[in-house]
Structure 1
Amino acid sequence: MTTPYTVLCVDDEALGLQIRRALLEMAGFKVLTALDGKSALVIFEDHTIHAVLLDYIMPGMDGGRVAAAMRTIKPTVPILLHSACVDLPQETIELVDATLPKGEGPESLISRLQLLIDASHSSVRSNR
């Protein structure tokens, strides 16, 4: 049996976070959650994370600032920005690996995360 990939989900909306956690766990991922950017960075530093599912609009520290901090800590971990915001700043888009509107279905979310993880791992293997 293979160890599941770990996804860090970051969103200030607790209900949405619980739903995404359940969805990703049913798809076979191990899921860690954070309700704000500061907590997310602590978890990101302290655990092996294979991908991040990150909201943009959050109090205190928006998704762009969280992504920038994550890039300095572990620059190769893929970040999927999952937001209802339609006007994301270009500098934020450049910090993440992909974006996905919150209105997209669960299949899109799962497949996009898996593609990012697979690409990240094949890139690591090819650089050895």
Structure 2
Amino acid sequence: MKQNSNLVLCVDDERIGLEVRKILLERAGYRVLTASDGPTGLAIFSAEPVEAVVLDYSMPGMHGGEIAIQMRQVKPQVPILLLSAYIGLAPEVTAVVDLYMTKGRARRSFWKN
């Protein structure tokens, strides 16, 4: 793995999904940090030089939309990918993220040029 590879933060309360994403991203050459809940994810996001976020929508305590809004206040330039099993999330949620995906369908461009 390259030492200067991009740092990605994955936030998901489901351990298996989190581990699978971490493995796939690391195999692709990314460095990956993980969090199993919103508050932990926000703390890592604020403290580390995170360059992209993969965020689950449905989590106890606070959903991914709430987390994304807070992340935007800290580092508005960092791309956020929101994953959800729900189709048709509210526009005020999807407007905050760069990409919203449900079961493999991309809704917007993730990496901005």
TM-score, structure 1 as length reference: 0.80
Deviation at 1:104, TM superposition (A): 2.2
Task: Encode CA deviations 1:63-91: one digit per residue, 9 max, x unaligned.
Answer: 01000000101111010111111131110
Q: Which residue of 2 aligns with 1:94?
A: 95
Residue type at the aligned position of 2:97: V
For structure 2, the 5+ residue unaligned runs are: none
Identify the structure with the greater strand proportion: 2
Q: Equivalents in 1 of 2:16, 2:85: separation in Å?
A: 15
- Where does structure 1 differ by over 2 angstroms across 4 or more consecutive aligned residues? none
For structure 1, the 5+ residue unaligned runs are: 123-128
Q: Percent identity?
A: 46
TM-score, structure 2 as length reference: 0.90
Q: Which residue of 1 aligns with 2:104?
A: 104
Deviation at 1:59, TM superposition (A): 0.3
Identify the structure with the greater helix proportion: 1
CA RMSD of the aligned region, Å? 1.8
Q: Equivalents in 2 of 1:3, 1:36: separation in Å?
A: 27
Q: Which residue of 2 aligns with 1:5?
A: 6
